[in-house]
């Protein structure tokens, strides 16, 4: 979908690095695309690159494949939208069948946070970190509630931050610290403390 040159340029921009071909038009397109609430494709491609993966085409199925191992992974990039974030992520329209498929392979999940177009962190954990939360939501909404799926099966940082599978691919603690201003928190304070301690 994106050229190698564009993804390379966008990744440098997301990491706060100076870019050689940066211009006003690129900045305008970057800001519009990176903050698009209807599409996370550019954010997914940047997070995949930072985590050492190649993005997979299409909207259905896995998002990326690990370079060298060919392990397929799910990417969950969060975009700050003027509401304090808590390391959350979700699977939309989640079913028991999908849960079983994901847990059978202990699906790796890569999660990142963008704030005003700048990447703050990229972490990875396996689905068993959040499986208890997903299982509970499926049981309540589907098996007890009679629904076919959970519209948004979600989790927060408390489910994965201390899990043994946690891997930090990238974290900019200086940037996170500078933007952690009381009354204007981008990241909720308990989550901030955990991130800074990583």
- Looking at residue 138, which CATH number applies to its domain? 3.40.210.10
The residue length of the chain stands at 198
Report d(CA 198, CA 194) in Å as an integer: 7
Which pLDDT belongs to residue 22? 59
> For residues 91 and 99, what is the distance between their CA atoms, to the nearest angstrom?
10
pLDDT in tens, the chain (198 residues): 678 888 888 898 899 887 666 577 777 777 777 888 777 889 999 999 999 999 998 766 799 999 999 999 999 999 999 999 999 999 999 999 999 999 999 999 999 999 999 999 999 999 999 999 999 999 999 999 999 999 999 999 999 999 999 999 999 999 999 999 988 999 999 999 999 999
Please give the residue range of the domain that contains residue 85.
4-197
pTM (two decimals): 0.91
- Both ends of the chain: CA-CA distance in Å? 34
Contact (CB, 8 A) for 65 and 127: no
Q: Which of 151, 159, 61, 168 is nearest to 113 (CA)?
A: 168
Per the structure, how many domains does the chain have? 1
CA atoms 176, 177, 179, 184: torsion sign: positive
Distance of alpha carbon 115 from its chain centroid, rounded? 12
């Amino acid at each position: 979908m994106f050229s190698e040159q564009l993804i390379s340029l966008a990744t440098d921009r997301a990491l706060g690095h100076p870019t050689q071909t940066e211009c006003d038009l690129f900045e305008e397109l970057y800001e519009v695309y990176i903050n698009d609430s209807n599409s996370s494709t550019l954010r997914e491609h940047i997070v995949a690159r930072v985590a050492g993966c190649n993005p997979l085409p299409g909207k259905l199925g896995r998002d990326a494949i690990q370079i060298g191992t060919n392990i397929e992974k799910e990417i969950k990039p969060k975009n700050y939208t003027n509401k304090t974030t808590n390391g959350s992520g979700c699977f939309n329209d989640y079913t028991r069948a999908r849960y079983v498929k994901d847990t059978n392979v202990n699906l790796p999940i890569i999660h990142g946070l963008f704030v005003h177009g700048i990447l703050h962190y990229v972490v990875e954990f396996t689905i068993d970190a959040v499986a208890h939360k997903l299982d509970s939501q499926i049981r309540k909404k589907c098996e007890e509630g009679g629904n076919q799926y959970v519209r948004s099966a979600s989790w927060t940082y408390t489910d994965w931050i201390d899990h043994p599978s946690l891997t930090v691919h990238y974290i900019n603690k200086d940037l996170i610290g500078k933007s952690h201003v009381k009354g204007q928190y981008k990241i909720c304070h308990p989550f901030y403390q955990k991130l800074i301690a990583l």
